[in-house]
Structure 1
């Protein structure tokens, strides 16, 4: 068992006016500035979101997506904003298989879905905010125009794809290789084409109306019906090198943008130890968090102790079962009947819990809710039970990411972006492909009782070439679809991909208590689960729960191209005790020990006992909370 440290890397912030926490200090400062000028939590979240698109371009971008979950104190309403774009009208499985593909590529233009982030932020601002677009967009425009200091991870990300930019994606080289070289960490970097795009959107909005809501609608039209959609449609029709080593044109058109709208939804909830945990519907992976709680409800976790082998083993094995159900059952509920009531029921999880034994499972075991037989996509069946599965698990991920503390290559296990070639000198277009980016996170609480969490992502600088007239690139969220026919996550026109983005909100007695989240792809609902369990069962404050040594499994199929899985793999930070690591290995886990501060980028805000609290992740030396 690991002792709870008396001292933390930072204090848990406390105050009564407002709290902002995010994955970048400049974005948190922008959100706090909005609160200081009289904006509410939703205004501040929008300002943070737009700022992150500029200062973390390897983590999110203007053509990405955002799920938001919030509680509006005035209306007494908990809500979800779905800012997840849909597959293009031409995106059928046959459109890909006719090209000889068995997976949606992870880079280039074929994986582009409708950019949902802009519409999602505008919907949040219109429905729940109070300020005008200029008040929340000016921070992003300022940093894009005048520059901001590059964090080391951005420089490393650019370096990892610099040859690809020079040889194939020259429009990206024009933005991210100023003067032909990789910009150094700490150097001042600007993206004036992006600044001009947002300035034009704002100018068109203000020219169209003097009314706040009228301006927001005019800005939405400029993006989805106007010049932005037109430029996206033209660029998507060009031939671009992607991860396959071939040039392909995209399927996205301006008409796809014109027909899409962000929307408000009701969250999915589960009651756990006095808290009601609210998540998105299963177009995101959010309900997998709730399934893990439903499985763990049958254990005395407090008695196991924080960071113990019993605790890590039990939580990991429960996660394997929940993620197996995600693979078999989750998808856009507008297209498929996801049996959520059964998946979260006491009876179902009581039976599933019996599968958790004393040793690590090496199988992918989806259940049969309401007697329905599960089916899995082809990529999910290959690593499990096959002759080479053990060798694959022990070989390591082969999917290098970055150590967020140093900017150096690490492993797929971080959930961070990867180069796709492990830092070696690329020789062919296929070897030069950029890997996935990562994600950002935002939490805000204000003095009026409003609380919001959002997890923007996509449109990474590694995704696809920059559209030169706009200053940003398209996203690749479509890689999360499967091409196997007839499954909940099978690609189809107008369908939302089963995204990994998963902000969290906890209520106590119907009032917002805690908002939290993290970047990290498939790891998001593992890292945040550990955080919540640390807080609920072991009494850790927000900063203690974030700082505590983290762990996660890479057992399940990745949601990202090339959809690899590593059965039995368990990643733990080296601050985990040697005795615990040894016991986990004895139980059959393929334990990979990662650097001491490398797993997770959680941030959180809370309301309790009439006060507001916030904390942010020290890993990576960039996330910060602010408040008073």
Structure 2
């Protein structure tokens, strides 16, 4: 029997501290096991970097920083000028910490500015798509506050990669495919196209890919740290000295100069003013599990809203991936994503998102009353959470016209739409025997990236996630100093006060819908994390894309090829337009903490190049 089809037939019982499903499925990739540590990320070489740090005595924070640095250096699918979002379980405080290292809109980045350039949204590529770099600050802050090793030790694998590594086909071919855009930016052309003028101008798969300018930038950070240590500074102070050099020193000066030379807006003052934020995460309780997400500057709370709706149903009795199960999840996500599209934005700016109301269990019960059990509702609108905060909603007129403002694209799926909707990144997941657990979804600066001057730092493209028209989302209109509402959404779950799951995935607006299904695979259907990572998921496009043209396709539903004919027919009868893919599960990366046996289970999708190592 087809392995994926077998997953539809699983009926199992599971509670943490007991066993997984009674009849385990043979997965395409083996589950990972370890008792000391676990390191999982988007590329095998980057996972090896994490293992190297663990083997030298580092903790999960140190290893995560090494993996993050390596994935940035390998352009998987991000760069050093992108953004980093993390959830960290601190075993000393027994609390989940949220790290906000997302850049901000630079000076001059206003809605009127972009409209004057003829844009309906900020552009997808180039210097005008860039928020300020966040990943270096996020990495340095994590390492300084929660790590144990020096920056020199943690950056060593990434620096070796920058000296030259055998580039893999996925990235090499992405460079070749994007070379027309790359040639627009002189510093990018110099780095990415070593065979300029030949038929193939990008590196070949397996060719040693060298990044001298990036190596020099990393060397400057390490030198600054080491000089501070020689002067008697503490480990933390020395790391923050490197932080200051990146954001306030010669590196910042060159980033600003190189960006402005190519038509961008980032200034030295923008870089100096930006700060990493250590925040409280958002959380909901789903049937005894505390599920953690970042705040509403990400889409993360949308999964919590969906869980609040879904906890009112007996999902397990519906059967895994039956038409009723899929319809229930699809409609619940519709309601939550409509709220995301309208209400989410940077909480540091006015207006403030009504998150208390949006995450109210009573609000969820009101929303679920709108579900039509016979047909898909293509006209779902944002709800009114304000009464659940004892307030009046000032945006009722905008909500009534919600589906008349954005771009609804009812046509068939096409490559451009899917590329925008599923823009990739990577994830970094780690845990150790001391109890540190890390879930990171970094992104930004993917190929084709505009490199900032002679730094080797590829700039973010996250400006495109802003809107210019407050009728679409009054909380997410671009302003200088503001963070865009991003799709990036690391996840963590605790039970009985202990961390049990750390999970994350790449791919834009897919993230929380597939992470939701992964979580339910484990919690409701008793799958191991590897089974849950590979299990066939479905994808909906009935929310506005956070990228490109910001389109949506009501009723569009991607199913796995293994879906049986009768389920397909039932879903079509409910008004869904179906298409199919052979792999629909990820890439998801996850760690399950097995408290019964004192071990870790690692899972990594069979979908892409994601890879893990445990010990």
User: Using the alignment, how far apart are the partners of 1:394 and 1:237 within structure 2?
Assistant: 39
**Map of 1:285 onto structure 2:** 299
1:6-405 to 2 correspondences below 5 Å: 6-55=25-74, 57=75, 59-147=77-165, 149-166=166-183, 168-180=184-196, 181-210=201-230, 211-239=234-262, 249-335=263-349, 336-357=351-372, 358-371=374-387, 372=393, 373-374=395-396, 375=398, 381-382=404-405, 389=408, 392-399=409-416
Question: How many angstroms apart in 2 are the aligned matches of 1:376 and 1:571?
Answer: 28
Is the Cα contact below 8 Å between 1:397 and 1:412 reproduced in 2? no
> What residue is the counterpart of 1:515 in the other structure?
502
Q: Deviations over 1:313-333 (max 9, x none)?
A: 111111111110011111111
Offset of residue 363 of structure 1: 1.5
With over 3 angstroms needed to count, the CA separation of the structure-2 counterparts of 1:412 and 1:337, relative to structure 1, is: closer
1:534 aligns with 2:521: yes
Residue by residue over 1:177-223, the C-alpha shift from the partner in whole angstroms, topping out at 9 and shown as x without a partner, is 21222222233322222112111221122123333122211110111
Q: Which moved more, 1:365-374 or 1:311-320?
A: 365-374
Match for residue 18 of structure 2? none
Distance in 2, matches of 1:301 and 1:343, equals 22
1:458 aligns with 2:444: yes
Mark the CA change 1:230 to 1:378 in structure 2 (over 3 Å): closer, same or farther. farther
Deviations 1:568-608 (A, max 9, x none): 111122122232222211211111112x1255110011212
Tell me if structure 2 keeps the 8 A contact 1:383–1:567: no
RMSD across aligned positions (CA): 1.9
Is 2:593 the partner of 1:607? yes
Conserved? CA contact 2:305–2:336, under 8 Å: yes
Q: Which residue of 2 aligns with 1:243?
A: none
The worse-fitting range, judged by mean Cα deviation, of 448-457 and 581-590 is 581-590
Moved more, 206-215 or 470-479: 206-215
Matched-pair contact (CA < 8 Å) for 1:379–1:564: no
Give the drift of 1:400: 5.9
User: Residues 189, 153 of structure 1: CA spacing in aligned structure 2 closer, same or farther, 3 A cutoff?
Assistant: same
Is the alpha carbon distance of 1:150 and 1:377 closer, same or farther for their aligned partners in structure 2, counting shifts above 3 Å?
A: farther
Match of 1:178, SS?
coil
SS of the residue corresponding to residue 551 of structure 2 reads coil
The match for 1:618 is: 606
Aligned match for 2:479, one of 492, 497, 503: 492
Contact persistence 2:538–2:584 (CA under 8 A): no
1:478 is the counterpart of 2:463: yes
Deviation at 1:472, TM superposition (A): 2.5
Please state whether the residue corresponding to 1:514 is helix, strand or coil: strand
**Quick check: 1:443–1:603 contact (8 Å CA) kept in 2?**
yes
In the alignment, the residues of structure 1 paired with residue 527 and residue 267 of structure 2 have an alpha-carbon distance, to the nearest angstrom, of 49
**Shift in Å, 1:10:** 2.2
Tell me the SS of whatever aligns to 1:110: helix
Given that residues 345 and 484 in structure 2 are in contact (C-alpha distance below 8 angstroms), is that contact kept between their aligned partners in structure 1?
Answer: yes
**In structure 2, the residue corresponding to 1:393 is in which secondary structure?**
coil
Who is 2:9 aligned against? Answer: 3
8 Å Cα contact 1:377-1:482 kept in structure 2: no
Q: Which has the larger displacement, 441-450 or 481-490? A: 481-490
Alignment check: 8 A CA contact 1:394 1:590 kept: no
Deviations 1:329-368 (A, max 9, x none): 1111111321112112122111110111121121241101
Q: Could you say which residue in structure 2 is the equivalent of 1:564? A: 551
The whole-number CA distance in structure 2 between the counterparts of 1:173 and 1:379 is: 42
Q: Shift of residue 103 of structure 1?
A: 1.4
CA contact (8 A) 1:393 1:590 kept: no
Q: 2: distance between equivalents of 1:71 and 1:627?
A: 19
C-alpha change, 1:382 and 1:531, in structure 2 (3 Å) is: same
Q: Does 1:554 align with 2:568?
A: no
Tell me the secondary structure at the aligned position of residue 250 of structure 1: coil
Residues 381 and 403 in structure 2, CA contact (< 8 A), matched pair in contact too: no
C-alpha separation between the residues in 1 aligned to 2:526 and 2:371?
26
Q: Deviations over 1:295-324 (max 9, x none)?
A: 111111101111211111111111111110
| Aligned residue number for residue 582 of structure 1 | 569
Instruction: Look up the SS of the partner of 1:584 in the other structure.
Output: helix
Provide the rounded CA distance (Å) in 2 between the counterparts of 1:626 and 1:25.
9
Query: TM-score, normalization: structure 1?
Result: 0.88
* Number of residue-to-residue matches in the alignment: 576
Runs of 5+ consecutive residues of structure 1 not aligned to the other structure: 240-248, 402-410, 417-437
